[in-house]
Each structure stands twice: as structure tokens, then as C-alpha cells.
Amino acid sequence: MDSHALQDFQSALTCSICVNYFLEPITIDCGHTFCRPCLYFCWEEAQTPRCCPECRKIAEKTDYRTNTALKKLASLARQARPRSVSSSGEQLCRRNGETKWLFCELDKSLLSAPCSEYPVHSYSPLACVAEENRVSDEKIVKKMDPLWQKTQEMQDNLNKEIRKSESFVDYVVLRRNMIKVQYQMMHLFLLEEERFQLETLEREAQEILQQFRDSGIRMAQHREKLKEMYRELTELCHISDIELLQDLGDIFERIELLEMQKLQPVNPEPSSLHITGILHMLNKFRVHNGLIQGWTNRYMSLPDE
């Protein structure tokens, strides 16, 4: 295979997002292929409708099967990469100076080909062991899918918390407005109560004052009659004997009638209107607890999705 064909082959097995050989390649609706983790992270960070990173076509679904053919080819391409030699010489065997490209599974160390002949070592080519751990369903890939599912579950829980937080803000706004309206109603109620109390007091005061005025007039008239009778008795003492005896019976009769007229003083009993107390006032504007709980449930509970 010439160099241009090799480059095209390697490019066909390379993810355009991470620019590495495919890891768990998936082909989406538009036909483009990406590593599953790369595409998921790309969609996660975009915060836009899920679309192809290359052609921007909207992806109809999010759950795609692994392209097993490309997965196998990408795995072979990774294993076929030239082995790199560290500039520090750490990958060169001190015994024979050869490259250490075999992996000992017992002590997790690198070996050169001659060193692998010792029976204490259980070895395999480094690229094969690494690739097996990289793409095997029992190794890294098997751990990745559950982690991503838990990530999405946590994102769903986060979204629910955000929605509940927003609903709680709406609930607080509603309660704030309700409180303002209730206290405005209480203020109007107190003004109306004050007006009623003052009008009632004024009306009763006028009625009682009129009673005092009428009683005063009657007492003044009665006093004048008593005073006049007293004057007649005084004058009676100075008339002649015959006139005294003739008029005495008449004046005594009038005195008796006058004394029978006993005027009673006014004892007003104004109505003692109850001034609304704070508890009574709050009872008039008490909101049923069930209604409050209903509002709370409405704004704080969200259906499971």
C-alpha cells in the first residue's frame, strides 16, 4: 500500500473530533462516524439541538449501535502503529539494548524479546494487551457506558432541581402578591371599621346630648313651678285669716300634685362597640391551610419524567 493510500486508510479510521483512531465508533443518521464518547461530549457541551458536528444535520435519535466493522479496523490500525522509543532510553533493555515491546502480565513491566524467554514471565505484545484493555467489553468500554448513563441520570436530576427552583420562585412571587393584597384588604377593612365606629359614636352622642337638653328643659320648668309655689306660700302667710283659710286647701292640693311630679335624671347607656382586636382581624382574613398546601404542591412538585 503506497503512502497516499495508507493516509486515506488511516483518515477513514480517524474521528474528526478527537483526531484519533475510532474508539467505539457510531454512525449517525447523516452517515458520518464519530467515537461515541466524543460525540456525546460534543452534544453535551453544545447546549443546542443534537446535530452532526460535520454537516450540522439534526440527529433523529441519540442511541446508536457500535459500528463493529470500523471498531475492528481501528483496533488493528492502532496495533499496527510504529512503536515509539523514548528519548530517555526507558524503553530500551539494559541487558541487550533492544526495545522493550512485550508486556509482562505478572509484574506489569516491559520486556525485550530476549528477556521474554525467561519462564517466570507471562508476556504478550504491548500493543495487543493495551488494545485489549482499551476496547474489550470486559475492560474500559464496559466501565464507560454505565458512567455515562449515571451522568445523564444526574443531569436529569439537576434539570428537575432547576425546574423546581424556578417553580419555587414563582410560588414566592405569588405568595408575596397574596400577602400584599391581604394586607391591603386589612387596611381597607380597618378604615371601614374606623368609619363605622366613629359614625356610630357620633350618632349616639347626638341622641344622648338631646336627651340631656330635653331633661334640662323639663327640670328648669319644674324648678320654676316649685319656685312659684314657694312664692305663693310666702304670700299666703301675709293675707287675712279668712283668706288664708279659704285658699289653704287649694294651694295644698296643688303642692301635692307638684310634688308627685318626680323628674328622673338622664342616665345614658351608650353602646360599647367592640374594637376589632388583632386576632379577630386576622381571623377575617385567614386563608385555609389546605388552599395554601395546594398552592405549595402546585409550584413545588413536578411530575416524574
Residues 167 and 294 in one domain: yes
Residues 262 and 230 in one domain: yes
Residues 216 and 130 in one domain: no
154, part of any domain: no
Q: Which domain holds residue 255?
A: 161-300
Residues 292 and 196 in one domain: yes
| pLDDT reported for residue 261 | 78
Residues 228 and 114 in one domain: no
151, part of any domain: no
Identify whether the C-beta of residue 35 lies closer than 8 Å to the C-beta of residue 18: yes
Residues 116 and 231 in one domain: no
| pLDDT reported for residue 88 | 40
Over the stretch 213-250, which tens digit does the pLDDT of each residue have? 988 998 888 888 888 888 888 887 777 777 777 777 78
Residues 129 and 187 in one domain: no
147, part of any domain: no
11, part of any domain: yes
Count: domains in the chain: 3
Residues 75 and 172 in one domain: no
- CATH code at 133? 3.30.160
Residues 195 and 295 in one domain: yes
pTM metric for this prediction: 0.46
53, part of any domain: yes
**Strongest mean pLDDT among 115-119, 200-204, 289-293:** 200-204
Question: Phi-psi region for residue 93, left (φ > 0), alpha (ψ -120 to 50) or beta?
Answer: beta
